[in-house]
Structure 1
Amino acid sequence: MRSNTIIVLLGLSCVCLSLAQTTFEDCCYRYVTKTQRIQRQAVNYRQQVVDGGCNIPATILILRTPRTVKTQRVVCVDPHAPWVVHLIKKIDKKKGKHDRYQPKTLHRS
């Protein structure tokens, strides 16, 4: 009888853990300051907004990587810096987005 209770409790705890899935947020906590190399290698971007565990607004630049590398290289920069605003407009223009700069938001679920 005692072993049955332990098995039921273990089963219930497993179910509770699987239902209460936590997401680990991939946040920027500081900005990169060396900009020259970043500007040449940036191919895309996304915006980080302040919510949940992300404490600072940031622009996350996605950098060009060799085809042999499977993961994307990203860097966090200050979204209000003039060079970042200029770079985002340049990236949007290359991608065919001719409308005015509107920050993209990084959605969390």
Structure 2
Amino acid sequence: MAPSGDAKLLFCIFFISCCCLTVTLAEVPVDCCLSVGKQQVIKHAIVDYHRQVAGQGCSLNATILVTRRQVRLCVPANEQWVEKVVEHVEKLRAHCRKNKYKKPLCSKMMPRN
């Protein structure tokens, strides 16, 4: 093959690779809460939480509470009772971290970096 043919082949491979990468990056699914429940949750059933921010791939602000059975509950982000549940999870996480997650209470806790 002539040198110009090699360059064309290399360009085609590079172009196709870039197109595939763009399509792959554009299709990253985002797991969002579509609505939030107003019913309060018992804080002792919750082992983790995540914040969902509107405008970062999701349409509304929410706090996602994770139960010991890994059920995800979407609750309002700004409610006072939600903040108390989050504080409880943070205290529990600190307690479990201190005890290296060895206590039965910590069996379902997920360590964070």
| Fold match by TM threshold 0.5 | yes
Q: 1:90 to 1:56 in 2, by over 3 A?
A: same
Equivalent position to 2:37, from 29, 32, 51: 32
Aligned to 2:86: 88
The letter of the residue matching 1:30 is S
- Fraction of identical pairs, as percent: 28
Alignment length (residue pairs): 79
Q: Which has the higher contact order (CA 8 A, sep 6+)?
A: 1
Shift in Å, 1:63: 0.8
Q: Match for 1:20: what amino acid?
A: V
Q: Of 71, 74, 84, which residue of structure 1 is paired with 2:72? A: 74
How far does residue 51 in structure 1 lie from its aligned partner after superposition? Answer: 2.2
| Residue pairs, 1:1-109, within 5 angstroms | 16-17=19-20, 19-21=22-24, 22-36=27-41, 38-65=42-69, 72-96=70-94
Question: 1:85 and 1:52 mapped to 2: Cα distance?
Answer: 21
Q: Distance in 2 between matches of 1:43 and 1:64?
A: 6
Structure 1: state its 5+ residue gaps.
Answer: 1-11, 66-71, 98-109
- Per-residue deviation, residues 38-95 of structure 1 (Å, max 9, x unmatched): 5342111011112243011111101111xxxxxx310111011110011111111111
- Over the aligned positions, Cα root-mean-square deviation in angstroms equals 2.3
Runs of 4+ in 1 over 6 A off after TM superposition: 12-15
